[in-house]
A and B are shown apart, each in its own frame.
Chain A
Amino acid sequence: MEENLQYVREPAKRIFAQELQESNLTYKEEDDQYSKQYLITQTGARINRLYITGTLIEKENIGNETEYWRARITDPTGAFFIYAGQYQQEAADAIVRIEPPGFVAVIGKPNIYTTPEGATMTSVRPETIQVIEEDTIDQWIVDTAHQTLQRLNDKDNPVAKQASAHYQTDLTRYKEMIITALSAVR
């Protein structure tokens, strides 16, 4: 049976804010505008969708005629930047409703923006944002720590090799990041 004929939903990868911010390598399976884009992160995650949690601490409508919301969500390692407009209506509505500071979970797609000067900025285009409980934050930190550590230890992973060639990944720094994150679990 040819499993690959079936539509396969992209799993939501677990990643800490620091690593997402510091990753900007994109990759497409085929060179046409419709093929899926992936972000290859410092530790070798290949991301088309992600699941993050944290504290929504700021939000602002930066749109002109139509609403365009951005929100800043922090985890123990840094901040995620979320942008939601009319094409992410459900998520935008959620941002409007949530009063910062509040615990949230976001499922979305990574988005890399390159400035005219050539700098890159990695943000998240949300599919859904939900208000969650603190227990879930702790579960996410441990889950994300575990999956990040697995990536760090998987030396044969070709994606990790590609990542390390591009970023010259400092593995010690990312181990420290995991320790920082775990220290925040009560």
Chain B
Amino acid sequence: MSVSQERKRLHPHKFTMWVALASIVMMFAGLTSAYIVKKANSQWIEFELPTVFWYSTLTIILSSVTMHLSIKSFKAREMSRYRALLGLTTLLGIAFVVLQFIGFGKIEEGGMPLFGYDSNPSASFVGIIFGLHGLHVLGGVIALIILFLRAYIGNRKVYSSTGIEIMGTYWHFVDLLWVYLFIFLNWM
């Protein structure tokens, strides 16, 4: 086996995505470490995360499943199934972001403003960490919409699954990241 064959195994763009994910992990590792440091201070007010976040957890896990199935259909060249599942994933992604906003509202209703002078860092952290994660999901949703439109409008047939696989990797990643963040903020 020649060296060049060996190297072709992982597409450079796929690889780039993996390194980018490591980078995003570091960003959230920074924030959650800051959370731990800050929590040790006085004036930290504990509060429970509203139950809405359980629903958003369910939604995003479901969207990972549909994402997975849509890639499978793409590889099997079942294009209408692929498009339907991709669309469903997009909708679930949007639903997740909406649910997050509802969750933020519930926290504020519970007397814990996220930002502003009467806010407590415990709530501000939730706002920033979940908010930043939400932005990453939103970025994914935009990419999904582009893929979706391309599947409909594009008159050029696409056979390479690299693009959609990279999308899948990213999507499962934001899902996993959410599960980590949710566990972290619920039980830390």
Do chains A and B interact in one complex? no
